Amino acid sequence: MGSARDAMTDKDANEDAASPRALEAEDFLEVTSQVPSGACVMAAWNRQQEPVGTLLTGFTPVSQAPPSLVLVVLKDAPGVEDVRRSGRCSVAVLSEDQDALLRALSLPGGLGSVEWRVTPQGSPVLDGVAGWLDCRVLQTHETSDTVVVVAEAIDAGLAENRRPMLRYQGGFGQFVPGRLSSLESVGAAAAQRVVELAREPIEVLARDLGVECSVITYEEDHAVAVAVANHSSSARRTRLGSRIPVVPPLGIHFAANPGSGISEDEWLAKLGDADAPEVDLVRAQLARVRERGWSITLSGPLSVPELDELVGAYSESSDIPEHTSALVDAIRSMAAYHEPEEILSDEVYDVIAMSVPVRSPSGAALAVLRLLGLPPQVTGSEVLLWLSMLLDTARSVEALLEPRPITSRQALT
């Protein structure tokens, strides 16, 4: 088989040999901009012990052991000499809602009065970012207009599952996790619209209740977390893009709903060789959820850490049969602890999760709002109050929905 170079015509080869073309800067940028990256800010303390920061033009992890990275920054950018002098810096990945911060970085006054935090290792880092690294500078190299910093990461932090701002094709915009970003169906577009509209309401609810509130969508037989707001004191956190197979009683809001992609019979068929009592139990639970409009899971034979471990293993490697079967078995073992017939005001409950659907004007379940990290041993009155607040949040998102497809956020220029 001939190579691509062999495929050139003699004329092309002769022209290349006779007059090699200088690479134009525009061509170089056009090709390299096809590789998406995060919008990253390098920061350090100046001589007055004030934080200074600048937007990186390049950020590349190069090694895991030791954890090393290469940073590229304009030679005259704020803070570059401070990084060289101190031998320390932080690198922050901006979150997708930090548009104003990104604009401030391009102004003569720089960051101005923004909120900063201090890492456990003592470096300044911007507040509200998607993630950060605290770094020790190993080497610096100069080019004609940039400084290349080779650094070793000594600490790291991931902030509340915030989604990163994406740098792509010369602009900046949002990142949508999982296959939701590539699907072109009306359902996917509508689900993405819910994510955009729900971000602030779920943040408010999570903060008010001190819990985690997430947006879950249905994608190819899985419930997928596509937005998360976490204000729970618990170590439990839902990772963006985490996936759980929709096996009864999970995914109950999506079963036989217009546009959900799964019929009631298909959903029930995922019980496999279940006996009649198990099928009857799930059918009764489905009817109950349809009637009252919410779903709830109580504590059962498996602890929350055990369930989280199974979900984590499946999300990371769902192609391993043992992980799939272990999670499906766990889901089915918890079936009896889903959808109690009633919540009594004076009874005490341990609630693992509660959820309500967000519906389109036509009644399709576009997504689900889910609460996790609820305190243990609470009365039924408190449970019913949380459900009421979750329902109100879902209704507020529905009120904003319009019968039109979502459009992507315009890139900043």
Give this prediction's pTM: 0.59
Instruction: Look at residue 184 and tell me whether its pLDDT is greater than 50.
Output: no
Who contacts 213 (Cβ-Cβ below 8 Å, separation ≥6)? 202, 203, 205, 206, 228, 229, 230, 369, 370, 371, 372, 390, 393
Least confident residue range of 38-47, 84-93, 169-178: 169-178
CB–CB of 134/123 below 8 Å? yes
pLDDT top residue among 20 and 7: 20
On average, the pLDDT of the chain sits at 80
CB–CB of 138/71 below 8 Å? no
Rounded Cα distance between 368 and 224, Å, is 10
pLDDT reported for residue 4? 42
Rounded Cα distance between 269 and 275, Å, is 12
Average pLDDT for 69-85 = 92
Residue-wise DSSP of 366-389: EEEEEEE-PPSSEEHHHHHHHHHH
pLDDT reported for residue 410? 32
Strands (E), 193-291: 212-219, 222-230, 243-245
Instruction: Look at residue 92 and tell me whether its pLDDT is greater than 50.
Output: yes
Least confident residue range of 149-153, 233-237, 295-299, 387-391: 233-237
CB–CB of 28/41 below 8 Å? no
Rounded Cα distance between 202 and 370, Å, is 9
State the pLDDT confidence band at 108, using cuts at 50, 70 and 90: low
pLDDT reported for residue 405? 37
Residue % of the chain over a pLDDT of 70: 78
Q: 213-246 pLDDT, tens per residue?
A: 999 988 878 888 888 888 888 756 777 777 888 8
Instruction: Look at residue 38 and tell me whether its pLDDT is greater than 70.
Output: yes
